[in-house]
Amino acid sequence: MRIIPIASGKGGVGKSLVSANLAVSFSQAGHRVVLVDLDLGASNLHLVLGHQSPKTGIGTFLNNTRSNFNDVIAGTDIRGLRFIPGDNEIPGTANLTVSQRKSLVKKLLALKDDTDILILDLGAGTHQSILDFFLLSNQGIVVSAPAVTAVLNAYVFLKNTVFRLMFSSCTKGSPARALLEKIRKDGAGHSKLYIPKILPEIKEIDPVSYEKFSKRLESLHPRLIMNMIDDPKNADVATKIRRSCEEYLDLKLEHLGIIYRDVVQDTALASRLPITLYKPQSILSQAIYRIADKILQTPEDNFTPDDKQIDDSFQEAELEAEIDFDAKMEYVEDLLHSGAMSQGDLIETVKSQQFEISKLKKENNFIKMKLTKAMQQGFKV
């Protein structure tokens, strides 16, 4: 069973859209798919999937772990696709206890006999439960948007993932665990954790933990999807995340591809249909299908891409951004000529994009201000 956790550093980057439509794509390709809404406390994946509002969900099971887990697995109108809803009405669902998390993981892994692909739509942020679910696979996916805050949060998520992997690789009471506890307790936490700097110290004081973590880190190869882009230049942002991961985390990040923002998605959502079903020929749907093909062509969980393959994945994504942009412009022209999109719709689309650009400029100015302030403080020291 191929496990695909899908996460994001922050909400609002289209993570659930990617999860639902990848699930549809895999099922259309003949695979038995289970889609799980693990965005506990803010579950809305059923809306993207076009599924009726669930009466029971994971929260129902967690409140009574002796109940039959199969009762929360729902069928869908899409052949080969089953769905496990989350639960945002039961208090405390988002904050799982260790026993609840272990029980849920055990039940999910037990689905392997009749499931080819298990997709985990995780909540936004870096809660320990989210990181542990993400680490159920070495090939987890991080979805980001080109906005500065989204990019920063995507990197922070990966940084916390590596720290969680390091922490769990060190046994309780070991010298390495004591060192990590001290780092976390010293106020800065692991916000200033640079793996290449801390590894030599761990190797010296705790060779066993060092070897265990090094092997696990070497096999970890998360993948990135850059969503909601408006211009081919937005695709370049992914390179910044990659460089930070390599320089500060010793982590190799692969690029699965880009997805353009598409106003048709709003119409699909209102129609209670995933966009891959509502308009399979749209630019967005074709990007999803392309990403799904890349995933299926990759060996399961025991494949580590080399530097050339990673370089190729980023170059391919940049090329796809150019090709899709041209196709998107032709698509808009076709909509205008056919009458499917009015001039008013086009004006609203442009206004929406202008608002996004204005928001990005404000975010950039804010980041520049913080950097300038930090540099001035550094000079004073």
CA atoms within 13 A on the CB side of 199: 17
pLDDT score, position 339:
54
Could you give the percent of the chain with pLDDT greater than 70? Answer: 81
- Reply yes or no on whether the pLDDT at 42 is more than 90: no
Q: H helices then E strands: how many in the chain? A: 15, 8
Lowest mean pLDDT among 81-85, 111-115, 136-140, 262-266: 262-266
Lowest mean pLDDT among 19-23, 31-35, 179-183: 179-183
pLDDT score, position 364:
64
pLDDT bin (cut points 50, 70, 90) of residue 190 is very low
Contacts of 252 by beta carbon, 8 Å cutoff, 6+ apart: 221, 245, 246, 304, 305, 307, 310
Contact 363, 147 (CB under 8 A): yes
In terms of average pLDDT, the best of 45-49, 117-121, 128-132 is: 117-121
Query: Which has more pLDDT, 195 or 206?
Result: 206
pLDDT bin (cut points 50, 70, 90) of residue 360 is low
Contact 49, 278 (CB under 8 A): no
In this structure, the number of other CB atoms found within 10 A of the CB of residue 88 comes to 17
**Could you tell me the maximum CA-CA distance found in the chain, to the nearest angstrom?**
70
pLDDT score, position 378:
56
pLDDT bin (cut points 50, 70, 90) of residue 99 is confident
Hey, what amino acid is at 69?
F
Contact 233, 151 (CB under 8 A): no
User: What are the DSSP calls for 310-353, one per residue?
Assistant: HHHHHHHHHHHHHHHHHHHHHHHHHHHHHTSS-HHHHHHHHHHH
pLDDT bin (cut points 50, 70, 90) of residue 189 is very low
- Reply yes or no on whether the pLDDT at 355 is more than 80: no
- Reply yes or no on whether the pLDDT at 7 is more than 60: yes
Helix (H, G, I), strand (E, B), or coil: what is residue 167? helix
Structure tokens at 257: 């591809």
Alpha-carbon Rg for the chain, nearest whole angstrom, is: 22
The whole-chain average pLDDT of the chain stands at 83
Q: Which of 227, 318, 216 is nearest to 265 (CA)?
A: 227
